[in-house]
Amino acid sequence: MQTNLRGRDFIGDLDFSKEEVEQVLELAWDLKRKHASGESHALLRDKTLAMLFFFSSTRTRGSFEAGMAQLGGHAAFIESRTTQISHGDTEKELGAIYGRYFDGIAIRHVDWDIGNRYLNLVAEASRVPVLNMQCEIYHPHQCLADLMTIMEHKGRDLRGKKIVVSWAYASSYLKPISVPQSLILQMPRFGMDVVLAHPPEFPLMPEIIKQAQEQARAHNTAFDIVDSMEAGFEDADVVYAKSWGPLLTTTDPDAGKQLQDKYQDWITDDNKMSLAKDDAIFMHPLPADRDIEVTNAVLDGPQSVVIDEAENRLHAQKAVMALTMS
């Protein structure tokens, strides 16, 4: 497949044009078919990927690592605390030196006001692509898998379909805002009408909202913000309800928890799902706080596509790696 993606970083969702995202998805479906039928697809034979983690992961690590092996290459899992970063290695050393060892550098760094800048500084110093495994602003590979999953369930033409991206209560920790931000940036480009639902203390970044509104205008789709789950779920084709921290209001974990605790009724249950279309799908990137963010009945129920969504991380990321690192 001929594309202009070779050597390109993928840090923000809009780094790839809509047409480039379509090319990624075409290859992802081809690789998914080949994986299912056992057909070899070693597009990155002898290539290596550094996976640098500053934060825990189940799906992201597993899918990037399995994906590189299936493409004929190797992924090195590097936990940041086991490196010399705390002893002086800066983004410059990481980018320049790992850029000489590896064919790609993937990074997860979700620390507020630090992660995205870290990725961009590594990218400046690196001669190989930098892939965002989640920062505090974007989770672009999750969003590609989400788009792929929505198309598999709702068809390739998503014009007129409504997605609600809703805040949900969680008691575990202040989760990053990167998933909802990536969704509201990417989905309008594929024709979806977006409704963002959250309590007043849980806004997303104003510059991301502005960009999402611009995308909606450019693609002639709707973009609305509401302050109740019920209003958001009304007639939705896709319910994407997850928690995020009130990070624009406070980054203090205790103050944030107090704010979260005000909204314990923001849980996706069968009653709220009944407000959406009868054939609506429920999405969540996982991990979810079970019976707190979403009931077990919904998460494990017939409308839930969360396992398909997690599987598609593998296929979407293999396509991005093959196109940027070959």
Q: Residue numbers of the site for ligand CP (CB under 6 A)?
A: 57-60, 134, 142, 285-286
- Three-state SS annotation for 163-211: EEEEECCCCCCCCCCHHHHHHHHHHHHHCCEEEEECCCCCCCCHHHHHH
Residue 186 Cβ, how far from ligand CP at the closest point, in Å?
15
Residue 104 Cβ, how far from ligand CP at the closest point, in Å?
18
Residue 234 Cβ, how far from ligand CP at the closest point, in Å?
27
Residue 57 Cβ, how far from ligand CP at the closest point, in Å?
3
Residue 224 Cβ, how far from ligand CP at the closest point, in Å?
26
Q: At 72, is the secondary structure helix, strand, or coil?
A: coil
Residue 156 Cβ, how far from ligand CP at the closest point, in Å?
24
In the bound state with ligand CP, the residue whose beta carbon lies nearer, of 58 and 296, is 58
In the bound state with ligand CP, the residue whose beta carbon lies nearer, of 125 and 184, is 184
In the bound state with ligand CP, the residue whose beta carbon lies nearer, of 116 and 142, is 142
Nearest to 193, CA basis, from 167, 166, 227, 224 = 224
Nearest to 136, CA basis, from 112, 119, 108, 107 = 112
Closest residue to ligand CP using C-beta atoms: 60
Helical spans, DSSP H, in the chain:
18-37, 59-70, 91-101, 115-125, 140-154, 178-186, 206-218, 229-233, 253-261, 270-273, 296-299, 306-325
In the bound state with ligand CP, the residue whose beta carbon lies nearer, of 148 and 216, is 148
Nearest to 109, CA basis, from 71, 56, 146 = 56
In the bound state with ligand CP, the residue whose beta carbon lies nearer, of 197 and 288, is 288
In the bound state with ligand CP, the residue whose beta carbon lies nearer, of 75 and 125, is 75
For the chain, what is the largest distance between any 2 Cα atoms, rounded to a whole number of angstroms?
56
Residue 133 Cβ, how far from ligand CP at the closest point, in Å?
8
In the bound state with ligand CP, the residue whose beta carbon lies nearer, of 232 and 285, is 285
Residue 286 Cβ, how far from ligand CP at the closest point, in Å?
5
In the bound state with ligand CP, the residue whose beta carbon lies nearer, of 60 and 304, is 60
∠ at Cα 50 (83, 23), nearest 5°? 150
In the bound state with ligand CP, the residue whose beta carbon lies nearer, of 43 and 238, is 238
List own/partner pairs for 257-266 with CB under 8 A and 24 or more apart: 257/171, 257/174, 259/201, 259/202, 260/169, 260/170, 260/171, 260/174, 261/171, 262/199, 262/201, 263/167, 263/169, 263/199, 264/169, 265/169, 266/166, 266/167, 266/168, 266/169, 266/199, 266/229
Residue 153 Cβ, how far from ligand CP at the closest point, in Å?
18
Q: At 212, is the secondary structure helix, strand, or coil?
A: helix
Place of tokens 């044009």: 17
